[in-house]
Amino acid sequence: MNVVHNRLRVTIVYESMFGATGRIAEEIAATASLRTDVSIVVAERIDPGTVLDPDLLMIGAPTHAFGLSSGTTRREAQRVAANADLGLSFEPNSLDQGVRELLPSLKSSGQGGYAAAFDTRIGTVPRLFSGSAGRHIDRELHALGYRALVPPRSFLVDRTHHLLDGQLEEAATWADEVIDRLIEASARG
């Protein structure tokens, strides 16, 4: 008898200004791909109204002004990147669409898929003072009918927007935990 094993599908959507959130998303994808089929896409490349129907939707963004970036904060990030002393490059192709604009336009398959949210934020101050894009993402996903497998997770950057030591390793560990939860939840049905 032939047994067909369908691997679980994970879609990772992210927004990144200076590369830190993108590096975290790539590390999560690399870890998750060891046990699932993974697709990773930048938020600005998703058409509004797109139906995303993976077994797990993971969305991440940098924290700006206590939450998700906006056109205004993206333009400010672009200005910051122009400061050669910081050694930053600005990544987005679009200043108009990021995770904030994408989330309300996403359509769920109506089956209440699983989700996990993450962000990057300044690590030298408590979350109380920096905010968390992940918490905003988590609330929006819940409103769309997704079920969170884990609480939102923040990965930390320094004041020059570079990842703190150990954050990529923490992202891999977190991704493993999320995939463990996904496998358990899927087995329960």
pLDDT tens, residue by residue, 137-148: 999 999 988 999
Does residue 24 lie within any of the structural domains? yes
- 2 inside domain: no
Residue 1 near residue 9 (C-beta atoms within 8 A)? no
Please give the pLDDT value at position 105: 80
**Among 131, 144, 63, residue whose Cα is nearest residue 98:** 63
Per the structure, the count of domains in the chain is 1
Please, which pLDDT band fits residue 2 given cuts at 50, 70 and 90? Answer: very low
Tell me whether residue 35 is in a domain: yes
pLDDT of residue 60: 98
Dig out the tokens for 21 from the structure.
């959130």
φ/ψ of residue 109, rounded to 5: -70, -10
Using the predicted structure, report yes or no on whether residue 99 has a pLDDT greater than 50: yes
**Which pLDDT does position 90 carry in this prediction?**
87
Over residues 12-29, the mean pLDDT reads 96
User: Does some domain include residue 188?
Assistant: no
What residues make up the domain containing 78? 9-178
Angle made by CA atoms 144, 148, 154, in degrees to the nearest 5: 110
pLDDT > 70? residue 84: no
147 lies in some domain: yes
Answer whether 68's CB lies under 8 Å from 133's CB. yes
Provide the mean pLDDT of the chain: 89
* pLDDT value of residue 35: 96
Please give the model's pTM, rounded to 2 decimal places: 0.92
Which tens digit of pLDDT belongs to each residue from 22-54?
Answer: 999 999 999 999 999 999 999 998 887 777 789
The DSSP bridge partners found for residue 67 are 64
Cα–Cα nearest to 185, from 152, 153, 149: 149
Which domain CATH number covers 86? 3.40.50.360
**Structure confidence at residue 3 (pLDDT):** 40
Residue at 189 is within a domain: no
Name the β-bridge partners of 118. Answer: 60, 153
For residues 58 and 10, the answer to whether their CB atoms sit within 8 Å is yes
Residue 23 placed within a domain: yes
Sign (positive or negative) of CA dihedral 62, 63, 69, 73? negative
Beta pairing class for 114-122 and 147-148: parallel
Query: At how many degrees (to 10) do helices 20-32 and 167-188 cross?
Result: 40
Contact between 105 and 59 under an 8 Å Cβ cutoff? The reply is: no
The answer to whether position 29 is within a domain reads: yes
Number of C-beta neighbours around residue 139 at 10 A:
15
Residue 62 to residue 20: CA distance in whole angstroms: 8
> Is the pLDDT assigned to residue 111 strictly greater than 80?
no
